[in-house]
Chains A and B, each alone.
Chain A
Amino acid sequence: MILSLSKDTVQVLKEQDVVFLKNRVKEVAVKIKMGLVNQTRLLTAASELVRNMMRYANGGVCQIEIVSSGRNNGVRLIFSDKGPGIPDIDAAMRDGFSTGKSLGLGLPGTKRLVNEFDIKSKVGEGTTVTIIKWANG
C-alpha cells in the first residue's frame, strides 16, 4: 500500500521551468534522505521525461509527491501532457526506438533507473508517465 504524504505541482512550459523542476525534485529527495546515487538516478529520469514532454508536447505538468510504503519513503513524479500521444507504447519502450532525433534510450533507460514506471497514452489526448524512486532501493 502506497501512501501519499505531500503533493506539489509544477508547470513546465519553458526551459527555465525545467531547472526549477529539477531543483524541486532534488529538494524533496534530500528531504527524505535519499542516497546520492539514487538521487542522481531520480533526477536523470526526471530530466529524460521532462525533455520528452518539452519536445513532443510543448510542455505539461509535473506532480511531485512524497510517498511511503512500509518503512520505505520515496518520491513519485507524475508527468502529464496534452501532446499528440504515443501510438505504439511497446515500441517506444524498446531500446533504440525513437521518432525524434535521439538515441531512443529515453523511456526504456528511464524505466531502468526507477523502481516503478507506468505509462499511459492516448493518441490525440496526451501522455501520462508515473515513476517512483524509493529512498533505499
Chain B
Amino acid sequence: MSLKTHQLLQKKKKNILELWMKNQLADEGLREDLISNDELRSQSEELVDALVSNLSSENFTDLNSDEWSPVIEILGGIAITRARQGFSPRETGNFVFSLKEALLEVLQEEIVDEPQHLFSESLKINRLMDNLSVVTFETFIKGREEVILRQTDEIAEISTPVIRVWDGILALPIIGTLDSARTQIVMENLLQEIVETGSSIAILDISGVPAVDSLVAQHLIKTVSATRLMGAECIISGIRPEIAQTVVHLGIDLSNIITKATLASALSHSFKLMKLEVRKSNTTAKF
C-alpha cells in the first residue's frame, strides 16, 4: 500500500470526474430539459473539487468536522436549486449516488492486490457518501417545503379580502377552514381596514366555512371582542342551520354576538344600526 486513500483519490481527481460524468450522462433519468450538460459538468466539477481537496485521513467518517462545511454548502446549494427547478427526488438522489459509484470504481482499479484493504476503504467511502446523500435529501426537502410555505402564505394573504359594502360597513367573507393562523390574518386585516376606512360596522360572513367547532367559535368570539374594543360593531352572518345545531350542541355561547342567517339580513341590520333607510323610490316608472 503506497498511498493513503484520500491521497489516491486526490491524485485521481480527473478520472473520478470523467467517470462520474459518464455515469450521469448515461443515466436514463438525465434531465437535459432542466439543466444543460455544461452546467451539469461545472456543478459536478465544483463538487468533486471540494470533496477531494477536503478529504483527509481523519475526517473520513466525521461529517461534523469543519473541513466538510464547504462540501455540504455546495451540495446544499445544488439540492435547493434542483428542488426549485422541479427535479424529482430520484433524480437528485442519483446525482450523489452516481458519484459514489465513480469513487468506488476508481478505488477498485487502484487497489488491486489488497482485497482486505479495498473492502475497508470502500466501506468508509460508502459511509461518507451515504451521509452526504442524507444531507442532500434534507436540503432538497427543505427547498420543497419553502416553496410550499411560500404558497401557503400567498393563499392566506389572498383568501381574506375585506370589502366595503357601504359607506361605513365592511364585509369579510371567509371561505375555507378557520384555524388559528387564519384567524390571526382575518382579524388583523379586518381591524386594520376598520381603522383605515373609519367603518363602524363589520360583517363576518361564514357561509364558506365548512364546520364550526368550539375552537372556531372561540376565534370568532375573539374577533368580535377585538372589534368592539376598537369601538366598532361586528356581525356574524351566513350561519347555516347545521352550524346553528352544532353550536348549540357543543354548548357554545354566542348570545353576546349579533348573528344573522344571511349577509343580506346582516346588511339590513347594519342599516338599522346606522339609522339608514332603504326604500323603493316614490316616482312611478313611466312605461
A and B touch in the complex (CB under 8 A): yes
**Judging by beta carbons under 8 Å apart, are A71 and B146 in contact?**
yes
Chain A residue with the shortest CB-CB distance to B181: A137
Question: Measured between alpha carbons, how far is A92 from B146 in the docked complex, in Å?
Answer: 40
Contact for A71 among B149, B181, B188, CB less than 8 A: B149
**Judging by beta carbons under 8 Å apart, are B149 and A37 in contact?**
no
How many residues of B are counted as interface, with CB atoms below 8 angstroms from the partner's CB atoms? 5
**Judging by beta carbons under 8 Å apart, are B146 and A37 in contact?**
no
Q: List B contacts of A137 (CB < 8 A).
A: 181
Question: Measured between alpha carbons, how far is A37 from B188 in the docked complex, in Å?
Answer: 8
Question: Measured between alpha carbons, how far is A16 from B226 in the docked complex, in Å?
Answer: 31
Chain B residue with the shortest CB-CB distance to A37: B188
Give the total number of A-B pairs whose CB atoms are below 8 A apart.
6
Question: Measured between alpha carbons, how far is A51 from B16 in the docked complex, in Å?
Answer: 66
Chain B window 122-165, contacts with chain A (Cβ cutoff 8 Å), 1 for yes, 0 for no = 00000000000000000000000010010000000000000000
Task: Give the interface SS of chain B, mostly helix, strand, loop or mixed.
Answer: helix
Q: Which residues in chain A, 34-68, are within 8 Å of chain B measured between CB atoms?
A: 35, 37
Chain B window 157-201, contacts with chain A (Cβ cutoff 8 Å), 1 for yes, 0 for no = 000000000000000000000000100100010000000000000
Q: List A contacts of B188 (CB < 8 A).
A: 35, 37
Question: Measured between alpha carbons, how far is A35 from B146 in the docked complex, in Å?
Answer: 20
Question: Measured between alpha carbons, how far is A37 from B195 in the docked complex, in Å?
Answer: 14
Shortest B87–chain A CB gap in Å is 21
Chain B residue with the shortest CB-CB distance to A36: B188
Question: Measured between alpha carbons, how far is A35 from B153 in the docked complex, in Å?
Answer: 14
Question: Measured between alpha carbons, how far is A97 from B149 in the docked complex, in Å?
Answer: 40
Chain B residue with the shortest CB-CB distance to A136: B153
Q: List A contacts of B184 (CB < 8 A).
A: 37
Q: List B contacts of A35 (CB < 8 A).
A: 188
Question: Measured between alpha carbons, how far is A71 from B188 in the docked complex, in Å?
Answer: 23
Chain A window 63-86, contacts with chain B (Cβ cutoff 8 Å), 1 for yes, 0 for no = 000000001000000000000000
Shortest B28–chain A CB gap in Å is 35
B149, B181, B184: residue with the most chain A Cβ atoms closer than 10 Å: B184
Q: List A contacts of B181 (CB < 8 A).
A: 137
Question: Measured between alpha carbons, how far is A71 from B184 in the docked complex, in Å?
Answer: 20
Question: Measured between alpha carbons, how far is A35 from B181 in the docked complex, in Å?
Answer: 14
Chain A window 9-24, contacts with chain B (Cβ cutoff 8 Å), 1 for yes, 0 for no = 0000000000000000
Q: List B contacts of A37 (CB < 8 A).
A: 184, 188
Question: Measured between alpha carbons, how far is A71 from B152 in the docked complex, in Å?
Answer: 14
Question: Measured between alpha carbons, how far is A62 from B225 in the docked complex, in Å?
Answer: 33
Chain B residue with the shortest CB-CB distance to A137: B181
Q: Which residues in chain A, 77-133, are within 8 Å of chain B measured between CB atoms?
A: none
Question: Measured between alpha carbons, how far is A137 from B156 in the docked complex, in Å?
Answer: 13
Shortest A105–chain B CB gap in Å is 15
Q: List A contacts of B146 (CB < 8 A).
A: 71
Question: Measured between alpha carbons, how far is A71 from B146 in the docked complex, in Å?
Answer: 9
Question: Measured between alpha carbons, how far is A137 from B179 in the docked complex, in Å?
Answer: 13
Q: List B contacts of A71 (CB < 8 A).
A: 146, 149
Question: Measured between alpha carbons, how far is A37 from B190 in the docked complex, in Å?
Answer: 13
Question: Measured between alpha carbons, how far is A137 from B184 in the docked complex, in Å?
Answer: 9
Chain B residue with the shortest CB-CB distance to A35: B188
Shortest B112–chain A CB gap in Å is 46
Shortest A95–chain B CB gap in Å is 15
Question: Measured between alpha carbons, how far is A37 from B185 in the docked complex, in Å?
Answer: 10
Chain B window 39-63, contacts with chain A (Cβ cutoff 8 Å), 1 for yes, 0 for no = 0000000000000000000000000
Question: Measured between alpha carbons, how far is A35 from B184 in the docked complex, in Å?
Answer: 12
Q: Which residues of A does B touch, CB under 8 Å?
A: 35, 37, 71, 137
Q: Which residues of B does A touch, CB under 8 Å?
A: 146, 149, 181, 184, 188
What would 6 A/B residue contacts be, using CB atoms closer than 8 Å? A35-B188, A37-B184, A37-B188, A71-B146, A71-B149, A137-B181
A-B complex: 3 closest residue pairs judged by Cβ atoms = A37-B188, A71-B146, A71-B149
